[in-house]
């Protein structure tokens, strides 16, 4: 159950990062770093 919420959270971060912040690469890089950290925490 916890992994499911985590997956939706990461999907939300990635979707907002790619849709609304396309021109600002530093925010996109931060979103990718957060996603990688979340994936490591899940493993």
Q: Which residue has the higher pLDDT, 22 or 7?
A: 7
DSSP the chain: -HHHHHHHHHHHHHHHHHHH-SS-HHHHHHHHHHHHHHHHHH-
CA distance 8 to 20: 18
Q: Which residue has the higher pLDDT, 2 or 17?
A: 2
Which pLDDT tens digit goes with each residue over 8-42? 888 887 776 666 545 555 666 777 888 888 888 88
Token pair for residue 16? 């907002």
Asked whether 42 and 6 are in contact (CB, 8 A), the reply is: yes
pLDDT on residue 4: 85
């Amino acid at each position: 159950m916890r992994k499911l919420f985590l997956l939706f959270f990461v999907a939300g971060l990635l979707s907002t990062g790619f849709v609304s912040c396309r021109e600002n690469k530093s925010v996109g890089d931060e979103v990718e770093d957060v996603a990688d950290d979340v994936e490591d925490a899940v493993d």
